[in-house]
Structure 1
Amino acid sequence: MTDPTAEPTRVLASGDHFIAPGLFVDALEAALRETAPGVRLEFRTQTTPWPHTPFGPVGNVKEASGTEDELLEALGDARVALVQMAPFTERVIREAPNLELISVARGGPVNVDVAAATRAGIPVTFAPGRNAAAAAEFALGLMLAALRRIPASDAELKKGTWRGDYYAVENAGIELDGTTVGLVGYGAIGAIVARVLRAFGSTVLVADPYADPAKAQADGVEPVALEELLRRSSVVSLHARVTPETRHLLNADNLELLPEGAVLVNSARGELMDYAPLPALLESGRLGALALDVYDVEPPPADWPLHRAPNVITTPHLAGATRQTADRAAAVTAAQAAAYLRGERPEFVVNPEVFETTGAAGRGPRS
């Protein structure tokens, strides 16, 4: 039974023009309606300018939107924050003493200083798999577009050029059926891509030191070392996370292992690849085509060499941009906050060590 004299739990719903604050509000209310009807909520909302304004570093975090001052004003004395891009920097965490939980609607909390949150005893949750289906579909779309020259032929036809010569055998595209495709990274996204590729009839190789070889083989894919994958794959698609070990995982040395005319797709993270050698590899024909949704600098500058290189497809970091991703991210984020407000440990916590020193729910929900 609700205690009408109890203070409501103040919650910040910080969204943007992709995940609106109202999605967080509705999802959290729905998550608590049946399981904790006695929890009273009082919402504060914030809308950061992303994606109309690109994200970038803010304070000591990266890939954030808005300012520290704007976030602190929006937070007020909120105990729980459901967020998408807002910058939870060391300063913000230090100046928000009431904050008990940061629940992030992204696959990784790159807009949060996790070390500062951990020192403050604040659990930080995330939303794994929120855009897995969207990102997998987009990667497959980039593969098909590159293999079959779809963007180039569309642009040329609109200019009045009928490229019938694409039927000439030396210019003809390549089918996924029977083609060996290498996936660098075999998490949630890579597994979906592999499943669809298998349905197309592709031979699928995966390079991921953390993947379960037995599961990979059961899925019908072949686990191999990265160097072997690059040597054998006519198409390579990146699906790994960025860590100190994976930064520039593909570089001038190992890209030379690719078969002549290989297609390279990156819709994961720009830092996974050294972009400097790519123009020369395209000019030489070592790379037959390149399809990119992410970049070493976002957005790439006007004088970026790959703008002038042949057989390059570029899109503006759109792989996860579906309405279902927004809904799913809000629901997963709210589920983490709802568990916390029920006094439970959320499922997806990036710093579980806070529970070892502060109990089952971080600082613990205060009534």
Structure 2
Amino acid sequence: MTQSTLKLVVTDQAFGNTRHEQAAAQAEAADFAEYQCRSEEETRSAVQGAHVVLNNFAPLTRRVLEVMAPGAVVIRYGVGVDNVDLIAAKDLGVRVCNVPDYGIDEVADHATAMTLALVRKLNRYDAGIREGEWKIDRMVDGVRSLRETTVGLIGLGRIARSYATRMAVFGCRITGYDPFVNDDAARAAGVEPMSRDEVIASADVLSLHVPLTPDTRHLIDADALTRMPAGSIIINCSRGGLVDETALSDALRHGHLSGAGLDVFEQEPLPADSPLRHSFSVLMSPHAAFFSNASVEKLQQLASEEALRGLRGETLRCRLV
């Protein structure tokens, strides 16, 4: 393979520019192309013969992966790779990488901000004032002190631990479950280890920090929501498919949950007919928890550096498959 045959493709991006990516291609005299693919067919056409592919949300199915160059490298902008068929990638010899070490503080900040707003019921005060109300008891039915709040974590990775540190400052009790983290490591992070069921059943605030896999899809379903304490809150800045949105809407409508902070959804953009749009108990953002000027710059830089290693045939930094 000669350098002149190399091809680097960006399937889709939401950053506004691809200067780092273009610089990586230029450094190896590779052809460069960028798209805003949404469908499988658009993506399949875009990556035909590509040696390195940078991907955001476009679907990388078996049909897409099989038209890439032999030994191609896929780099996902971000941590999760649930839009990539990893089994097919392994079968086809396509190497898949992610960027796990950017935006950690941003996501932890975002989850914390959502938690504080919902525990303090700022959304309800705001809505009440806009409707002409002023009396507290007509806007809220009580507010739990943060110092009397148990925050439960499902998953104890870097973002979860950063979020735990922030919430501990407010005097919250922090519990958590992660089958891949031993009890001593959890305690060292300021987290009281528990079983998953115990975390769910005792959390006034339940925050999710796990990848979306067949085993974690709808991890929080109707049964799990029923087992959460009355008046509790759920925070999801990880992956939308972790929560059964129909069950969540029902729990909010019936008042079992007092609120939900959602940065991610099962379908994005959130469908116009989603009942979540009409619940004043839901605080939503458009998959933006990672976003800051600094984090976006770092994400593109790290992804492009990995792309350059892929073009050069060097050892990949964050290979998953």
Name the SS of the counterpart of 1:181 in structure 2.
strand
1:116–1:234 CA distance, 2 compared to 1 (3 A): closer
- CA RMSD, Structure 1 to Structure 2 (Å): 2.9
- Contact between 2:51 and 2:71, CA under 8 Å: does it hold in 1? yes
Amino acid at match of 2:122: I
Match of 1:201 among 150, 163, 171: 171
Q: Which residue of 2 aligns with 1:58?
A: 40
Match of 1:105 among 55, 59, 77: 77
Bigger helix share: 2
- Contact between 1:107 and 1:128, CA under 8 Å: does it hold in 2? yes
Encode CA deviations 1:224-243: one digit per residue, 9 max, x unaligned. Answer: 11211122211111111112
Q: Partners of 1:85 and 1:289 in 2: how far apart?
A: 28
1:97–1:67 CA distance, 2 compared to 1 (3 A): closer
The residue correspondences of 1:260-339 to structure 2 (distance < 5 A) are 260-309=230-279, 311-339=281-309
Name the SS of the counterpart of 2:117 in structure 1.
helix
1:176–1:118 CA distance, 2 compared to 1 (3 A): same
Q: Which runs of 5 or more residues in structure 2 are unaligned? A: none
Are 2:15 and 1:18 equivalent residues in the alignment? yes
1:278–1:96 CA distance, 2 compared to 1 (3 A): closer
User: Displacement of 1:164 after TM fit?
Assistant: 3.3
Q: Partners of 1:109 and 1:121 in 2: how far apart?
A: 17
User: Displacement of 1:11 after TM fit?
Assistant: 4.0
Are 2:125 and 1:153 equivalent residues in the alignment? yes
Amino acid at match of 1:100: A
Match of 1:180 among 150, 155, 165: 150
Name the SS of the counterpart of 2:259 in structure 1.
strand
- Contact between 1:180 and 1:235, CA under 8 Å: does it hold in 2? yes
- Contact between 1:48 and 1:85, CA under 8 Å: does it hold in 2? no
Number of matched residues? Answer: 319
Q: Partners of 2:51 and 2:43 in 1: how far apart?
A: 19
User: Displacement of 1:250 after TM fit?
Assistant: 1.6
Q: Partners of 2:17 and 2:303 in 1: how far apart?
A: 13
Are 2:211 and 1:235 equivalent residues in the alignment? no
Name the SS of the counterpart of 2:197 in structure 1.
helix
Name the SS of the counterpart of 2:88 in structure 1.
helix
Amino acid at match of 2:259: A
Name the SS of the counterpart of 2:79 in structure 1.
coil
Of the two, which has the highest radius of gyration? 1
Name the SS of the counterpart of 1:41 in structure 2.
coil
Q: Partners of 2:180 and 2:16 in 1: how far apart?
A: 31
Amino acid at match of 1:40: E
The residue correspondences of 1:26-37 to structure 2 (distance < 5 A) are 26=23, 28=24
Q: Which residue of 1 aligns with 2:33?
A: 45
- Contact between 1:180 and 1:203, CA under 8 Å: does it hold in 2? yes
Q: Partners of 1:220 and 1:91 in 2: how far apart?
A: 45
1:24–1:156 CA distance, 2 compared to 1 (3 A): farther
1:19–1:81 CA distance, 2 compared to 1 (3 A): farther
The residue correspondences of 1:53-132 to structure 2 (distance < 5 A) are 58=40, 66-72=42-48, 78-97=50-69, 100-132=72-104
Name the SS of the counterpart of 2:233 in structure 1.
strand
Name the SS of the counterpart of 1:237 in structure 2.
strand
Encode CA deviations 1:181-206: one digit per residue, 9 max, x unaligned. Answer: 00111112111111111222211001
Q: Partners of 1:111 and 1:86 in 2: how far apart?
A: 7
Amino acid at match of 1:41: A
Q: Which runs of 5 or more residues in structure 1 are unaligned? A: 1-5, 33-38, 50-54, 60-65, 352-367
Identity among equivalent pairs (%): 29
User: Displacement of 1:177 after TM fit?
Assistant: 3.0
Q: Which residue of 1 aligns with 2:134?
A: 163
Match of 2:190 among 213, 217, 220: 220
Name the SS of the counterpart of 1:152 in structure 2.
helix
Name the SS of the counterpart of 1:182 in structure 2.
strand
Amino acid at match of 1:16: Q
User: Displacement of 1:335 after TM fit?
Assistant: 2.9
1:109–1:274 CA distance, 2 compared to 1 (3 A): closer
1:156–1:18 CA distance, 2 compared to 1 (3 A): farther
- Contact between 2:82 and 2:213, CA under 8 Å: does it hold in 1? no
Amino acid at match of 2:8: L
Q: Partners of 2:230 and 2:178 in 1: how far apart?
A: 24
User: Displacement of 1:180 after TM fit?
Assistant: 1.0
Encode CA deviations 1:248-298: one digit per residue, 9 max, x unaligned. Answer: 112222322222211122222222122233344334432122222222333
In the superposition, the TM-score normalised over structure 1's length comes to 0.76
Are 2:105 and 1:133 equivalent residues in the alignment? yes
User: Displacement of 1:318 after TM fit?
Assistant: 2.1
